[in-house]
Structure 1
């Protein structure tokens, strides 16, 4: 469904194609919303969708999500609360964006990629299909007392990926590391430590193969 004018209604509306939109959502003109999409309520803040965006079928947008102009979020995506997606971004099918994630302008996230809480992607980042950013150094389902872990029972180890960096298909990033700008992580690499700007990293464990021209260490 194409929104031909800005949407900001005061009553809950279900559109053709089972598109359900909370009344506090703001959807700018020329945006396209796919069938069976759910834009949730605004307990944490309203959902804002910029101009000329595309939201694919069966996509869920939770509270306080901000999507920049021209961004495309394709089918079966789930965007959790407090997420900011920049302008002209592309998210492929089955992408999961966890709460609080920040995504810079003109970033591309390919199919089947989860981006977990604590991850920051600067502008122009590329995440290849099935790449993985992790955020828990000691992942356990239960506490030492045998109780299921809650949000207060573990510490987020954030990952920061710099401007124009690329993460290859199937690569895994260890919690708490920084990927420098223009760095290139090869397909299937397992990265366990910080990567300098412009470095090309391959293998398991990941090691620096070379540097992109202009980024060689002095």
Structure 2
């Protein structure tokens, strides 16, 4: 799965947190992703657009701000989840009008039915899970890869909301985890249960120590 990376170069005491089985937990939720073909359209505006009943991908320009709470796309292509998240953060969103299609709409009938991708999640040990998929031999072929941008967008929105309260402490964000700069003498900003690693979508504590964020891919 693609990464959502943010880094703030720093040296200090950091604590690392991670969301347990992040993507499988989203796939096991009530979200019905689209796997059928979408329809390219040219929208004049968002007025009266029924975004609540469709999955969509837009070509939009989103106001640029130096924030770890939103992941920008260099090609100005965003899902409806990114679109609504940007608006919730107070960012200006403008639909691109250049004569080409600016929307890819997935109608309700293209949505996946329950159990079509991830059948079950079975614990097989204290720190191990077995994931059973409908199409284990070809997980990246066929219609199922269409869920990827929406799955990633849900993930980014979830982590963004989780770190928003401590935005000034954020030093590194991965798609399903983050590092906060904290005081070694104070209580942790997040209290994680000891058995969080056994619970889907539970925030678990990974480690704490002096760390140096060199770049988005290297933390020591």
Q: Same fold (TM over 0.5)?
A: no
TM-score (norm 1): 0.26
TM-score (norm 2): 0.26
